[in-house]
Amino acid sequence: MSKWTLRVLLGVVVVALALGAIDSGRVYWVGGTDLEVQFVVVDAGSGVPITGAEVTVRSGGGWYTGADQEREAGGFALPTDTNGSACRVCRNNWVVGEDSGLGFTHIRSVYMPRWSFRVSAPGYLITEPAILDQPEFQVSVRRVSPGADKLEIRVPLHRLD
């Protein structure tokens, strides 16, 4: 190997190590986002949206404006519209993150409301209670815009036989 090649290789290694050292610095942060939780209720067989289904939410509180009042009330019910959709927005919901020194790494996590929910509709079996603060739902949160996130939960209901 020539001296020139060794110098170039050494230069590349030094620059890579320097960037790695600078990027290893971390910035931790806490902020807020409006988290829209949308339930989409459909017929399990056909996939057709179910109008008039009810999402019954038992609230254990959470990290958003009004969470304590929801917990004290015990929860709430959300009726589905003609698209089988029922929504609730958790205002100023906590979101935490970590950024690397050079911005190569960005980790962001939205705190989930402490809800359990069941879904019912006339002519359909009632679902078992599901807990919202589970990895399967956490990974489904999508950033819509700065300050706004959305979690869409598809709930298939089975007909009574």
Rounded Cα distance, 39 and 144, in Å: 17
What is residue 20's three-state secondary structure?
Answer: helix
- The CA distances from residue 54 to 29, 50, 59, 68, 124, in Å, are 37, 10, 15, 23, 11
pTM: 0.82
pLDDT digits (tens, 9 = 90+) for 78-126: 999 999 999 999 999 999 999 887 777 888 999 999 999 999 999 999 9
pLDDT digits (tens, 9 = 90+) for 20-77: 556 567 788 899 999 999 999 999 999 999 999 999 999 999 999 999 999 999 999 9
Domains and CATH numbers, the chain: 26-157 (2.60.130.10)
